Structure 1
Amino acid sequence: MAFPDLLHPPSHTSQSSALRLSQEAPRILAKAPTSSLPYPLSLLSSSETEETWTIYENLFLSCLRTGDNVSARKCIDHLTARFGAVNERIMALTGIYKEAAAADTAALVKVLDKYNEAIQADPTNMPVRKRKVATLKALNRPADAIASLVELLDLSPTDAEAWSELSDLYLAQSMFSQAIYSLEEVLLIFPNAWAMQARMGELLYLSYLSSPADPSTLSEALRRYCRSLELCDDYLRGYYGLKITCQKILENAPKTSSKAVAASEDLPPPSPAKVEKLHELATKKLAEIVRRASQQEPGWDGYDEAELIAARALLDRDAEVIVR
C-alpha cells in the first residue's frame, strides 16, 4: 500500500499528510474500479478489494481539507456509483461535500433543508442527523444544534459520540452542569476511555473557575485526572491537567476549611501532602514527555505539537517562579 494514511481514521491524518494525499488524488483516482453497469449490477464487473472504499472515503476527506473540491467530487461519484445515492453514509458524505462547497449562508441553509427532508423521510438516518447538527453549528445556531442532538439521543441513547458533542455544545454556552452530565453518559458507555476521563477533569476544573464556591469540584477533577493517568501512563493532557489542578488546590488550601470541604462531598479531600506529591509527579512526567518527544526518541512520537508547546510553557512559568 503506497499510502498507508488512507487506511487510518481521518482524525489521525496530519495536515501535511492530507496535502500530500490530495496532490496524489488524480493518480489514485485513475486506478478506481469502474463499470458501465448501474448499481448494484456494477459489482459484478468491479475489481474492488476490502480496502478500496475506505481509501476513497479517506481520500475524499483529505481533498476537502485541502480545498481540492474537484477531486473530492470524483471520490463521491465513485462511492455513489458503488453504494447508491440513498445509502445513509453516502448521503452524509455528499452533504459534507455540499457544506464545503457552499459559497455563503444561503447555500448552507439549502443544505440544511435537504437534511431536514431526508430526516423527515427517515427519522432513523443517524449520519444525516449528525450532519444536520454540524451544519447548525456552522450557521451559529447552538440552541438548535443542542435540540437536534437531544432528538438524536432520544432515538439512540447509547451514542457516545453524540453525548460527547452535546457536552461540547453545552460547554460553549457555559452550561457546565449540563456539559458534565452529558460527559458522564459517555463514561457510562466507555468507562476506561482515558481521554474522556481527562476531559471530565477539564470540565470540572472549568466549572470551578466559573463558580469557585464549591471546592469539592477541584477534588473530583483531581480524581478524574488520576484515573485518566491510571489508564494511560504517558497521557500529556492528563499530566497537564493534574499539574494545574494541584496548583489550584494548593493555592486555595489556606482559604478552605477541610471540615467544610469534607462535608460537601462523598469522599474526603486529598491532604496537602498528597497533592504536593501529585504535583511533583505531574511536573516530572510533563518534563520527561516534553524532553523525549522534542528529541523524537523512539516510542515518544505522536504527541500534538501544540500540546507540547503548552506543556513547555507551563513548565517554564514554574521555573520562573522558582528563580524569583
Structure 2
Amino acid sequence: MVTKSEEAELNRLESQAEHGGGGAWEYLSLVRKLKVRRSDYVLKHGLSILNDPKKRSALGDEVWTLYEQVAVAAMDCNSLDVASDCMKLLRKKFPESKRVSRLEAMLFEARGRWEEAEKAYSSLLEDNSVDQVIHKRRVAIAKAQGDSLKAIELLNKYLEIFMADHEAWRELAEIYVSLQMYKQAAFCYEELILSQPTAPLYHLAYADVLYTMGGLENLQTAKKYYASTIDLTGGENTRALYGVCLCTSGIAQLAKGRNKEEKDHSELHTLSAAVLQKAYKMKSPNKLPTAGIRLEKV
C-alpha cells in the first residue's frame, strides 16, 4: 500500500515532469517501485526519454527496464504499435527471455486474440507453474470474454497455490455475487475476515451477502458484522448503520419476540438510527422530518 508521503512525492515528481522541470526518470522509477499504474504519464515521459538518444544512452542497461515499463503502459493506453515496437527491441536483446514472452502474450490479449494469448500463457505455465502474473492474466482473459464460470475455475485453482492473496479472494467473491452465488461469496469473505480481521470493508461485504441471503440466522449474523463494521470505522459507516436498522426490522418480523436478546438489538438500532438522523440533518436539513420518521419505522 502506498503511504501518504510516497504518494505526495509521486505527485510532486509527476507535476515537475509535466511542467518541464525534469525528473522524468526519477518519476518513472518511483512508479515502478510503488507498483502503481499511471499509464498515460508513464507512456508520455517514458517515450520522451526513449526518443532522445542522449537520455536513452545515459540509462545504460536500465533502458531495457524502461522499454518494458513503456510497453505495458502502451498496452494500457491502447497504443499497441508502440508496445509492439518496444517488444521487438526487447526480443532482439533477450531472445530467450520468458519475461518478454509474457509481454508478447499480453499484447495478444490487448489485441483481443484470446486463443493465442491463452496458448502463450499455458506454455509459460508449463515452465513455471507458480507465476502469479500469468495466472491472473488468464483470469483476466476469461472475464474479458464474459466467461464468469471459467474465471471462477481459474481463480479457485490460483487460490489453491496462493491462499494468502487477498485481492484474489475479493475478486472471486465479487464474481460469485454477480452470479447470485451467495453461499460461495460468503465463504470468500469469511476467509478474508480470518486473514484481515480489522478490515471493515470485508465485514461490511460479508454482512451485505448474509442480509441478501435472508433468514433469521443470516440476519442475526449480518447484524453482528454490520455492528463490527461500525466499531472498526468509529461509527462513521452509513451503509453499516443502515444495515443494522434493516436487520433489526427483519429479525423482529421473523423472530416475533422469541429472541431474548432483542432488547439489546433494539438499543443498537436506536443508536444507529440516531447517528443516521444526525448525518441526514447535516446533508439535507429540509428533509430531516420525513427521513427521521421513516428511519424510526425501520
Q: TM-score, normalised by structure 1?
A: 0.63
**1:279-313 Cα distance to aligned partner (Å, 9 max, x none):** 4335656887xx8xxxxxxxxxxxxxxxxxxxx9x
Q: 1:277 Cα shift?
A: 1.8
Q: Which residue of 1 aligns with 2:8?
A: none
Alpha-carbon deviation of 1:110? 2.0
Pick the aligned partner of 1:101 from 90, 111, 133: 111
Larger radius of gyration: 2
Alpha-carbon displacement from aligned partner over 1:60-118 (angstroms, at most 9, x marks no partner): 55433432223334555677678876345x5544433321122xxxx212211221222
One-letter amino acid of the counterpart of residue 248, structure 1: L
Preserved contact between residue 136 and residue 145 of structure 1 (Cα < 8 Å): yes
Structure 1 pair 25–46 and aligned structure 2 pair: CA distance change class (3 A)? closer
Looking at both structures, which has the greater relative contact order when contacts are Cα pairs under 8 Å and sequence separation is at least 6?
Answer: 1
Distance in 2 (CA, whole Å) between partners of 1:62 and 1:316 is: 48
User: How far apart are residue 135 of structure 1 and its match?
Assistant: 0.8
Match in the other structure for 2:36: 10
Q: Which residue of 1 aligns with 2:21?
A: none
Distance verdict in 2 for CA 1:131–1:30, change over 3 Å: same
1:69 has 2:72 as partner: no
Which of 17, 30, 43 is the matching residue for 2:51? 30
> Which residue of 120, 140, 146 corresponds with 1:140?
146
Per-residue Cα deviation, 1:193-222 (whole angstroms, up to 9, x for no partner):
x3xx32342243233224345421431331
CA deviation string 1:202-251 (max 9, x = no partner): 24323322434542143133134225415xx87xxxx1321330331354
Structure 2 CA distance for partners of 1:153 and 1:79, relative to 1, 3 Å = farther
Distance 1:176 1:92 in 2: 35
Can you give the 5+ residue segments of structure 2 that lack an aligned partner in the other structure? 1-12, 18-23
In structure 2, the partner of 1:48 is: 62
Matched, 1:177 2:187: no
The CA distance in 1 between the partners of 2:290 and 2:52, in whole Å, is 58
1:1-324 equivalence runs, <5 A: 1=13, 2=17, 4=27, 7=31, 8-10=34-36, 13=38, 18-19=39-40, 21-30=42-51, 46=60, 48=62, 53=65, 59-74=70-85, 76=87, 86-87=97-98, 91-102=101-112, 107-192=113-198, 194=199, 197-213=200-216, 214-230=218-234, 239-252=237-250, 254-257=252-255, 260=258, 270-281=264-275, 284=278, 321-322=291-292
Distance 1:251 1:123, change over 3 A: same
Q: Between the two proteins, what is the percent identity of the paired residues?
A: 17
Instruction: State how far apart, in whole Å, the 2-side matches of 1:64 and 1:182 are.
Output: 31
- RMSD over aligned CA atoms reads 4.1
* Contact kept? 2:193, 2:203, Cα under 8 Å: no
Distance in 1 separating the partners of 2:288 and 2:93: 57
Aligned residues: 265
Letter matched to residue 242 of structure 1: A
d(CA) in 1 for partners of 2:169, 2:110: 25
2:114–2:141 CA contact under 8 A, matched in 1: yes
